[in-house]
Amino acid sequence: MTNKPVRVRFAPSPTGPLHIGGVRTALYNYLFAKQHGGKMILRIEDTDQTRFVPGAEQYIIDSLAWCGIQFDESVVNDGPFGPYRQSDRKSLYEQYSDELVASGNAYLAFDTAEELDALRKAAEQEKKTFIYNAETRKSLRNSLNMSKQEVIDRLKDNEPYVVRFLIPEASEVVMNDLIRGQISVRTETLDDKVLFKSDGMPTYHLANIVDDHLMEITHVIRGEEWLPSLPLHVLLYEAFSWEKPEFAHLPLLLKPDGNGKLSKRDGDRLGFPVFPMEWVDPKSGEKSSGYRESGYFADAFINMLALLGWNPGTDQEIFTIDELIAAFSLERVGKSGAKFDPEKTKWFNHQYLVQKSDVVLAEQFMPFLQEKGVEVNPSQVEKVVGLVKERVQFVKELWEESYFFFVAPSSYDEQVVKKRWKENSGAQLTDLAQVIQAVDPFESAAIDEAIKNHITANELSMGAVMNALRLLLVGAAKGPHLGDIMAIIGKEETLKRIENGIKILG
RNA sequence: GCUCCCAUCGUCUAGCCUGGUCAGGACGCCAGGUUUUCAUCCUGGUAACAGGGGUUCAAAUCCCCUUGGGAGUACCA
Residue A247 domain-assigned? yes
Cα A339 to Cα A251, A344, A359, A378: the distances in Å are 10, 11, 36, 41
Give the count of beta carbons closer than 10 Å to the beta carbon of residue A286.
11
Torsion of CA A15, A20, A23, A28, to 10 degrees: -140
Residue A86 located in a structural domain: no
Question: Is residue A484 within 8 Å of A387, Cβ to Cβ?
Answer: yes
Pairing of strands A181-186, A172-177: antiparallel
A447 contacts: CB under 8 Å, gap ≥ 6: A436, A439, A483, A486, A487
CATH number of the domain that residue A287 is part of = 1.10.1160.10
Query: pLDDT (tens digit, 9 = 90+) per residue, A485-499?
Result: 999 999 999 999 999
Residue A85 lies in a domain: no
Instruction: Please give the pLDDT value at position A158.
Output: 94
**Same domain flag for A401 and A422:** no
Q: Which amino acid is at A99?
A: E
Residue A1 predicted with pLDDT over 50: no
Residues of chain A (157-186) having a beta carbon less than 7 angstroms from strand B: 160, 162, 180-181, 183-186
Q: Is the dihedral of CA A143, A146, A152, A153 positive or negative?
A: negative
Tell me the nt nearest to A123, Cα to C1': B1
Residue A475 lies in a domain: yes
Q: Are strands A253-254 and A338-339 parallel, antiparallel or unpaired?
A: parallel
Residues of A known to be catalytic: 264
Average pLDDT over residues A67-71: 98
Q: Within 7 A of a protein CB, which nucleotides of strand B?
A: 1-8, 10-15, 25-28, 36-41, 69-77
Integer distance in angstroms from CA A127 to C1' B28? Answer: 45
The Cα–Cα gap between A351 and A300 comes to 8
C-alpha closest to that of A108 among A149, A146, A156, A157: A146
A149 and A291 housed in the same domain: no
Q: Is A472 exposed, middle or buried (0-12, 13-18, 19+ CB in 10 A)?
A: buried
Residues A472, A390 share a domain: no
Q: What pLDDT sits at residue A258?
A: 67
Task: Write the CATH number for A110.
Answer: 3.90.800.10
Task: Classify the C-alpha dihedral A260-A261-A266-A267 as positive or negative.
Answer: positive
A309: the nucleotide nearest its CA (via C1') is B12
Q: Is residue A2 in some structural domain?
A: no
Query: A390 with A456, same domain?
Result: no
Residues A337 and A244 in one domain: no
Nearest to A347 by CA among A385, A304, A312: A304
The phi-psi region of residue A206 (left if phi > 0; otherwise alpha if psi is between -120 and 50; otherwise beta) is alpha
Any residues with CB less than 8 A from the CB of A32 and at least 6 apart, and which? A6, A8, A38, A219, A221, A328, A330
Residue A306: which of A274, A331, A328 has the closest Cα? A328
- Name every residue whose Cβ is closer than 8 Å to that of residue A110 and which is 6 or more positions away in sequence: A141, A142, A154, A159, A160, A161
Residue with minimal CA–C1' distance to B28 is A343
- pLDDT cut 90: percent of chain A above it: 84
Q: What share of chain A is helix, strand, coil (3-state, %, to 5)?
A: 50, 10, 35
CA of A337 to C1' of B6 (A): 8
The answer to which of A276-280, A314-318, A423-427, A480-484 has the lowest mean pLDDT is A423-427
Question: By C-alpha distance, which of A351, A217, A367 is closest to A296?
Answer: A351
Does residue A391 lie within any of the structural domains? yes
Q: How far is the CA of A363 from the C1' of B44 (A)?
A: 39
- The lowest-confidence range among A153-167, A249-263, A432-446 is A249-263
- Beta strands at A106-109 and A162-165: parallel, antiparallel or unpaired: antiparallel
Residue among A323, A404, A394, A324 nearest A356 (CA) = A394
For B6, nearest residue by CA–C1' is: A336
Q: Are residues A101 and A245 in the same domain?
A: no
Residues A248 and A384 in one domain: no
Number of domains chain A contains = 5
Task: Pick the last residue of a domain from A195, A226, A244.
Answer: A195
Residue A438: CATH number of its domain: 1.10.10.350
**CATH number assigned to the domain comprising residue A370:** 1.10.8.70
Strand B and chain A: which residues 392-431 have CB closer than 7 Å? none
**CATH number of the CATH domain containing A20:** 3.40.50.620
Reference A485, options A451, A438, A434; nearest CA is A451
Per-residue pLDDT at A422: 87
Q: Hey, is A132 helix, strand or coil?
A: coil
What pLDDT was estimated at residue A127?
Answer: 81
Give a yes or no: residue A87 inside a domain.
no
Give the nucleotide nearest to A348 (CA→C1').
B27
Q: Which amino acid is at A429?
A: L
Distance between CA atoms of residues A207 and A437, nearest Å: 79
List, for residues A100-152, the tens digit of each pLDDT value: 999 999 999 999 999 999 999 888 888 888 999 998 999 999 999 999 999 99
Q: Do A73 and A21 share a structural domain?
A: yes
Q: Measured in angstroms, what separates residue A309's CA from nucleotide B50's C1'?
A: 21
pLDDT of A2 over the 60 cut: no
Which distant-in-sequence residues (6+ apart) come within 8 Å of A269 by Cβ? none
Domain boundary among A154, A177, A195: A195
- The reply to whether A386 and A311 lie within a common domain is no
User: A342-355 and A298-306 helices cross at what angle (nearest 10)?
Assistant: 130
Nearest nt to the A203 alpha carbon by C1': B75
The answer on A485 and A421 residing in a single domain is: yes
Q: Nearest CA to A35 among A425, A341, A407, A328?
A: A328
The answer to whether A390 CB is within 7 Å of strand B is yes
Q: Which of residues 425-484 of A touch strand B (CB under 7 A)?
A: 448, 462-463, 466-467, 469-470, 477-483
What is the residue range of A175's domain? 92-195
The answer on A273 and A226 residing in a single domain is: no
Give ipTM to 2 decimals: 0.95
How far is C-alpha A332 from the geometric centre of its chain's CA atoms? 20
pLDDT tens readout for residues A319-378: 999 999 999 999 999 999 998 889 999 999 999 999 999 999 999 999 999 999 988 889
Residues A208 and A159 in one domain: no
Whether residue A1 lies inside any domain: the answer is no
Q: What is the average pLDDT value for chain A, to the nearest integer?
A: 93
Interatomic distance A335 CA / B73 C1' (Å): 22
Select from A253, A186, A234 the least CA-distant residue to A26: A253
